[in-house]
Amino acid sequence: MTNAENARPALRQPPTAYRSRVGDIEIVAANDGMVRVPMKDGFVRGVTAAEVGEALAESGLPREILTITFTPIVVRTGGETVLVDTGYGASGPPTAGFLLENLAAGGVRPEDVTKVVISHFHGDHINGLLTKDGALVYPNAEILVPAPEWDFWTSQDRKAQAPDAMKAAFDNVARVLGPMKDRLTHYKWDQEVAPGMIALDANGHTPGHTAFAISSDGESFVFISDTTNHPALFVRNPDWSPSFDIDPDAARRTKRRILDMVVTDDLPVGGFHFPFPALGKIARDGERYRYLPAQWMAVV
pLDDT tens sequence across 243-271: 999 999 999 999 999 999 999 999 999 99
- Interstrand relation of 269-270 and 219-223 (parallel, antiparallel or unpaired): parallel
Q: Is the pLDDT of residue 114 over 60?
A: yes
pLDDT tens sequence across 52-68: 999 999 999 999 999 99
pLDDT, average across residues 13-24:
95
pLDDT tens sequence across 200-233: 999 999 999 999 999 999 999 999 999 999 999 9
Neighbours of 131 (CB within 10 A): 14
Give the largest Cα separation in the chain, rounded. Answer: 52
Percentage of residues in the chain with pLDDT exceeding 70?
98
Give 300's pLDDT tier (boundaries 50, 70, 90): confident
**CATH 3.60.15.10 for the 12-293 domain, yes or no:** yes
- Supply the pLDDT for residue 84: 99
CA angle 292, 80, 125 (to 5 degrees): 55
